[in-house]
Structure 1
């Protein structure tokens, strides 16, 4: 009997618990439970019967979902622009990282490609910005916003308008230059009188004819006068570099007299001259001529070869006409270039190799360490780089002048032959020019060459560019 009561009590607890789970408190439902019944199946049927009467199990009404706000066209455009902006910025970041990586190690091709990519991505950002501003103007609604957007658009367009104006001015200048050349050509052809009598249609016809003549006219050939002008540029470049080097030597407390004696000794092969303890033939304040002689001797070494003996090229012999044309084209393309900017793009080009080779032959490691306290420039040049310093920049100016002179020489047929006044040679005013000035402008009799300063050149048709020499009385040698 006790066991049955325990069992009925357990069943009762189970049914109440199940009912509570199925019908939470507060639902307003009345439960009818026969706690005296011992039959669990009848209780289950009662619950089932009450559910089948259609009474709801829960009176809580579910909350309907909030209505979805439709996306407007302006929002769609804005979202699309934002996605494009993020994508473009990501590509810009990758391109900029690639541009930085191209600097070390130096990779010109990768640098140019990355630079183009960066510019393209920046242009895309500019286009996206203008699209956004136009969308603001179209959306409008507020006059103030339209005004601000309009001002910003004008600010963006202003640089392009300035560039267009500048190009227009340049075009007009070119047109005026063309007209001037046209008049000169007409004067040469003897058509000056006919030109004044021509009417507008005839002038138009002449313009077409002139344009066709300009297209077919060959590149002007190099002349002895142009070559002499290049020699003067070499002289100015070497004098400027020499002055800077001499001032650095004095600042570093060099023994200038000993340096001059060493340079003098290198210009002769006689036994007496090799003794650097003898007195110098260079007068007071004339050390710059000895130093310039040393620089020119180093930088002109190999001038008679088409590549300064940097390689074994024989193009001037195998195809001389094409080689001369290529040399003159390179001369025209390079004469207006800044050498440091050119070598910044192509550090290992033929001109770059020439500069590295000549710098290392002129400036020895001990010399540079004495002048600057370290070998940083020397190491960079040895590695094929070109430092952006004032000293190296002055050297590049002189080196470029010599390189252009070399290109011009090998574009002439026959190429000029260079010579120099040797130590002890009689001074000849037809082929020599004294760097030391004499009263009356003429070298006094009895003077001979103490040492050469810069070479001279024999050009075609007997044209001579004089060599520069340092002269001394014959008794001082």
Structure 2
């Protein structure tokens, strides 16, 4: 084998030529080369590695076949391997070599193998100078490989340093971005809270606007209801008074027809009243009905247009049997017409039962009552619309007569004492004078007719009465 022959020639050289003392490291280098390098041809094709400028050139193409080549062939056969050209994959990415560096490595390795072959050829025939030149060439190629390795390490080290510096910069930038992100998240949370607060404020404003709209609507209804003028209110008052008078007629008639003592009933209604005429007792019944109708009533403003649009109040009750007006009619009928009266009027309590069940009969008696209830309902609802400070009051015994609030049922000439004090007194003139002055001041009486009547009453008083 070629390796054995190389060792023999080396021994011969060391024994015969002692005068030539080559470098002491040559044998060591040759040994390493023997282990590392084999006489296997490596083929590199340009189509497989386009970045390389040249290929590995075969060595000793023109040299005659020698034992070295034969030995190489034998070595190849002994290993039982076939050498096929394989494409060289150039790795790209971090830490990979560039095409130029790969070409330099291949060039240096090719030159090293060529120098090694030349070193072997220098032994046959044995040529000392060629052997020394071969060793020097091999050493030069190893130095080139060492420099390439060192350059690669330095380049890799610099790149790692650059990457480390870049990594630190990126980490700093990442930390800054994370701080910015945290700040933006905090701002976003603040904005979300602000949005929720504004949404709540918007909801509150919408609810406030809705309430204001409802209030404006109610005020509009009140203004519409308050379209009653003083003159119209006076007409309503007169209609209410007339309806009470109209209902009292059948009421008195039914009492008389059913055997009631009208004198006893009038006395029961007002025990202390003195009547100049028997027919004046009807005012006691009207007073009873009025007191019952206005009992427990507070002046409130409400819409009366839904009642006024009906000529017959029974139609309004039939259309809306659960309205406030319907409840008012039901409550007042049960208060005005006592069960004993109704049973004596009609022989039963069917009409009362009918009303208690939430219905309204179309009898003549109940129609007159509903008409009276209608005008009283309108009177109460429209009074506050005209004057929000309006009040309702009633007079009792020992109150002085005043034409501003009272109506004289007697002829003015026949009974000028209509303003007389209805109470016992030791000095009626003085009491009347004091009461008259107080009444004029409190009620702001300015009409000449009222003042004239008061003066006439005062002059006609007799101190003995």
Q: Same fold (TM over 0.5)?
A: no
The TM-score with structure 2 as length reference comes to: 0.41
The TM-score with structure 1 as length reference comes to: 0.40
Larger Rg: 2
Q: Which has the higher strand share?
A: 1
